[in-house]
């Protein structure tokens, strides 16, 4: 993609270029984080950012708080300073009646306050989602973010500026037409996908997980180390104003709340797409029901909606009561957390063999559905939360996330005696009886009976039939679902016993399509040993490893019978892969499946074991990037692998060489940052020739 650098003037003084870069990057941040319309590739953005960093390193006196480089945060604080809000951050009255009457009662109160009779036209409102996050006040002076503060008690909050700077959606500098003083109020929150990814990382590290998105967001905002806060994926929505320069002093003059929100969008703040104007109680009810129906599909958690009188003049006329505005209300949705009792703990086996403990619950209505099962994720998580049979637990269901046990309610002394045993993961698969193992450094146990285990049947068939394995053209996910769900096939060899009549009898399967599948299955019987080995779906055995195993041993029987020590002699096979191979072939039913496949006619040319030849590039890892003059990437990869080297997809500290051609992008930059040696094609050929 070609990009036009509107600000790039090579002859400009460095100080001018520095300011130009700031403007550019602020605009790209706005397009990326607020508009979701990135205008340049990531590599180009990284180039601009690094240029700015380099200029600031040469001119540290020009570093300002609004520089994009200052998002990374400063040092570690001892504590947060207190901040007095110029305009108090007041709370909104909560309406817990989750029926239509909740909205109707609010509208009736507003009409009474305004003295409107039944003949008066409906009141105009703004209806907004109620985000489940942390209220935040952002103070800008002369267009630059100078202070970010939590709500606190409404009068006094905490200064969390250095953490808020790390949120990409919050602008550090505003357009020149904003008022001299502008205090924007909004919500810091965490998107569901980011929350799940964060918890998955926590579980993988054996660390405590976060209870919900609000706790995760609040915890990140209140980190004394902004470097940690920067690693937590936070987002922001603007929904109101605090102190603003008054119109008579050059500030804005808004007639309605909705107009103010639209102006905030123009100034660069994200505003929720679900904001809508509503006329009267009927529109409020319709909005509540619509957003309630969409709640599970939203990318973030909400716990209700907020209604506000749209006219700012009417808001001022209605005023406040006990520190709550009369002109607004938060209409809550039904709770997404409830209490229930654990009746048992079962273990489920996923498509990839992962074993997951699942709490069987006394039925409870939560998040709009009746929940009877909730995930405990893995053995470590179940033990960390100390969930046992008989416990009363908090269950949460938010959006399309699988219901989970959040925590155990502290049992009474009487209940302590009735608690079940501490949960322990079974060491055999509850579905097929194969060994269940947990690899070193892994959080999950997995079933080793991939080809045999009925829970993994669909995944095993799809993996075996894919283009990079034995390749059965036309055998896709929908057809496999039909074959397995209809008990037409139970094991992998059953594929090759399929007849034309059995296929043609399936729903929406024409005779011609059935014939094509039969022919594709027959064609797939002629394969290669690496493809067949890869198709077996042995954990950690990818295409490259399968090739090395086939080259080293020459035939499948030798691979199946090899000891771990013998397997470790193969290039690209380490202790984890060797152990995985042995676990797989030590299962009698896996060997039986292999023998049945051979009996069905699946075959490949076998050869003698590879002669013991020096592998000069053994132990070296290469990354190929850009376009090489004469070699394709596949050709370069084949040459490297033939010499014993490994080709990886990304650059890390473990990379030995990066082979770079023209238009090499971020991988080359990463190599230079890490000090990894860089070769061109000629350098690669020279390296290969030196060792030939």
Question: How do residues 514-524 score in pLDDT, each as one tens digit?
Answer: 999 999 999 99
Token reading at 311: 């006219």
Give the least confident one: 91-100, 305-314, 350-359, 384-393: 91-100
Strands 276-279 and 124-131: antiparallel
Residue 144 near residue 175 (C-beta atoms within 8 A):
no
- Give the mean model confidence (pLDDT) for residues 625-642: 87
Phi-psi region of 606 (alpha: psi -120 to 50; beta: other; left: phi over 0): beta
Residue 289 Cα distances to 273, 286, 294, 365, angstroms: 16, 5, 9, 18
Token reading at 182: 């502008």
Token reading at 392: 């009363």
Count of residues in the chain: 692
Higher per-residue pLDDT: 605 or 417: 605
pLDDT for res 448: 86
Give the least confident one: 33-47, 349-363, 619-633: 33-47
Residue 574 near residue 433 (C-beta atoms within 8 A):
no
- Show the domains of the chain with their CATH numbers: 1-63 (1.10.287.610), 94-332 (3.30.470.30), 337-416 (2.40.50.140), 448-612 (1.10.150.20), 621-690 (3.40.50.10190)
Residue 311 has what DSSP assignment? B
pLDDT for res 32: 66
For residue 6, list its beta bridge partners.
none
pLDDT for res 461: 93
Token reading at 531: 């493809």
> Is the pLDDT confidence value at 197 over 70?
yes
Phi, psi of 423 (to 5 degrees): -70, 135
Distance CA 649, CA 137 (A): 43
Give the list of residues 6+ apart from residue 495 with CB closer than 8 angstroms, or none.
Answer: 461, 464, 465, 472, 475, 489, 521
201 catalytically annotated = no
> Is the pLDDT confidence value at 1 over 60?
no
Token reading at 502: 């059995």
% of residues, the chain, pLDDT over 90: 45
Residue 358 has what DSSP assignment? E
Distance CA 328, CA 92 (A): 7
Please calculate the CA angle 107-262-7 and round it to the nearest 5 degrees.
165
pLDDT for res 29: 77
pLDDT for res 4: 41
Give the model confidence (pLDDT) of 365-423 as tens digits: 886 678 999 999 899 989 988 999 989 998 987 655 678 898 888 776 666 777 888 99
> Is the pLDDT confidence value at 665 over 90?
no
pLDDT for res 351: 77
% of residues, the chain, pLDDT over 70: 92
Higher per-residue pLDDT: 43 or 601: 601
Band of residue 40 on the pLDDT scale cut at 50, 70, 90: confident
Distance CA 70, CA 240 (A): 26
Token reading at 238: 């603007």
Residue 291 near residue 185 (C-beta atoms within 8 A):
no
Give the model confidence (pLDDT) of 108-129 as tens digits: 999 999 999 989 999 999 999 9
Distance CA 108, CA 114 (A): 10
For 53, the 3-state DSSP assignment is: helix
pLDDT for res 480: 92
Distance CA 55, CA 13 (A): 11
The chain-wide mean pLDDT, for the chain, equals 87
Band of residue 639 on the pLDDT scale cut at 50, 70, 90: confident
For 532, the 3-state DSSP assignment is: helix
- Give the mean model confidence (pLDDT) for residues 455-484: 91
pLDDT for res 2: 39
pLDDT for res 516: 93
The one catalytic residue in 130, 579, 637, 667 is 130
Which of 9-23, 42-56, 259-273, 575-589 tops mean pLDDT? 259-273
Residue showing tokens 């992008």: 665
Give the model confidence (pLDDT) of 247-304 as tens digits: 999 899 999 999 999 999 999 999 998 999 999 999 999 999 999 888 888 899 888 9
> Is the pLDDT confidence value at 194 over 70?
yes
Token reading at 653: 């500290």
Residue 514 Cα distances to 33, 473, 500, angstroms: 49, 12, 6
Residue 30 near residue 22 (C-beta atoms within 8 A):
no
> Is the pLDDT confidence value at 169 over 60?
yes
Band of residue 603 on the pLDDT scale cut at 50, 70, 90: very high
pTM over 0.95: no
pLDDT for res 6: 39
Strands 646-648 and 621-625: parallel
Distance CA 19, CA 17 (A): 5
pLDDT for res 199: 87
Give the list of residues 6+ apart from residue 283 with CB closer than 8 angstroms, or none.
Answer: 122, 125, 127
């Amino acid at each position: 993609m070609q990009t036009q650098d509107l600000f790039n003037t090579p002859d400009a003084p460095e100080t001018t270029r520095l300011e130009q870069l700031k403007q550019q990057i602020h605009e790209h941040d706005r397009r990326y984080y607020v508009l979701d319309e990135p205008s340049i590739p990531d590599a180009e953005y990284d180039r601009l950012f690094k240029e700015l960093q380099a200029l600031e390193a040469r001119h540290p006196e020009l570093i300002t708080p609004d520089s994009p480089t200052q998002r990374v945060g400063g040092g570690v604080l001892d504590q947060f300073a207190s901040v007095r809000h110029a305009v108090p951050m007041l709370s909104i009255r909560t309406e817990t009646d989750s029926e239509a009457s909740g909205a109707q009662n609010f509208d009736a109160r507003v009409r009474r306050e305004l003295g409107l009779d039944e003949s008066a036209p409906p009141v105009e409102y703004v209806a907004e989602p109620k985000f489940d996050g942390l209220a935040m006040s952002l103070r800008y002076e002369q267009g630059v973010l100078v202070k970010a503060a939590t709500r606190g008690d409404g009068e006094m909050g905490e200064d969390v500026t250095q953490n808020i700077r790390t949120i990409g959606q919050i602008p550090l500098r505003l357009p020149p037409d904003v008022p001299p003083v502008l205090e924007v109020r909004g919500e810091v929150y965490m998107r569901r996908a980011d929350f799940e990814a964060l918890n998955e990382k926590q579980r993988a590290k054996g660390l405590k997980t976060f209870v919900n998105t609000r706790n995760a967001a609040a915890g990140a905002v209140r980190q004394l180390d902004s470097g940690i806060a920067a690693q937590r994926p936070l987002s922001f929505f603007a929904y109101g104003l605090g102190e603003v320069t008054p119109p008579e002093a050059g500030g804005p003059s808004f007639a309605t709340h909705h107009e103010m929100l639209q102006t905030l969008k123009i100034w660069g703040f994200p505003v929720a797409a679900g904001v809508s104007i509503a006329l009267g109680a009927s529109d409020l009810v319709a909005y509540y029901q619509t957003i309630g129906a969409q709640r599970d599909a939203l990318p973030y958690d909400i716990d209700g909606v907020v209604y506000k009188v749209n006219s700012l003049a009417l808001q001022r006329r209605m005023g406040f009561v006990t520190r709550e505005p009369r002109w607004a209300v938060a209409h809550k949705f039904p709770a997404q957390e409830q209490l229930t009792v654990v009746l048992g703990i079962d273990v489920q086996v996923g498509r990839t063999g992962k074993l997951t403990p699942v709490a069987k619950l006394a039925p409870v209505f939560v998040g709009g559905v009746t929940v009877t099962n909730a995930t405990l994720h893995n053995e470590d998580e179940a033990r960390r939360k100390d969930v046992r049979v008989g416990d009363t637990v908090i269950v949460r269901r938010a959006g399309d996330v699988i219901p989970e046990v959040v925590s155990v309610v502290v049992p009474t002394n009487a209940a302590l005696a009735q608690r079940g045993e501490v949960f322990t993961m079974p060491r055999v698969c509850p579905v097929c009886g194969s060994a269940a193992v947990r690899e070193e450094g892994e959080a999950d146990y997995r079933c080793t009976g991939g080809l045999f285990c009925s829970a993994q049947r669909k995944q095993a068939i799809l993996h075996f039939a894919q283009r990079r394995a034995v390749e059965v053209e036309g055998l896709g996910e929908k057809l496999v679902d039909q074959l397995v769900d209809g008990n037409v096939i139970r094991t992998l060899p059953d594929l090759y016993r399929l007849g034309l009549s059995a296929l043609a009898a399936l729903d929406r399967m024409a005779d011609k399509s059935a014939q094509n599948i039969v022919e594709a299955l027959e064609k797939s019987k002629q394969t290669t040993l690496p493809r067949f080995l890869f198709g077996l779906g042995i954990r950690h055995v990818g295409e490259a490893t399968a090739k090395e195993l086939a080259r080293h041993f020459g035939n499948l029987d030798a691979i199946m019978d090899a000891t771990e020590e013998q397997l470790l002699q193969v290039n690209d096979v380490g202790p984890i892969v060797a152990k995985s191979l042995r676990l797989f072939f030590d299962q009698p039913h896996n060997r039986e499946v292999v023998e049945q496949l051979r009996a069905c006619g699946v075959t490949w040319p076998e050869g003698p074991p590879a002669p013991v030849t020096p592998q000069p590039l053994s132990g070296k890892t290469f990354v190929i990037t850009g376009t090489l003059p004469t070699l394709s990437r596949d050709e370069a990869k084949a040459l490297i692998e033939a010499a014993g080297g490994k080709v990886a997809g990304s650059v890390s500290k473990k990379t030995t060489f990066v082979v770079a051609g023209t238009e090499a992008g971020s991988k080359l930059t990463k190599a230079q940052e890490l000090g990894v040696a860089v070769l061109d094609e000629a350098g690669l050929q020279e390296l290969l020739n030196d060792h030939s």
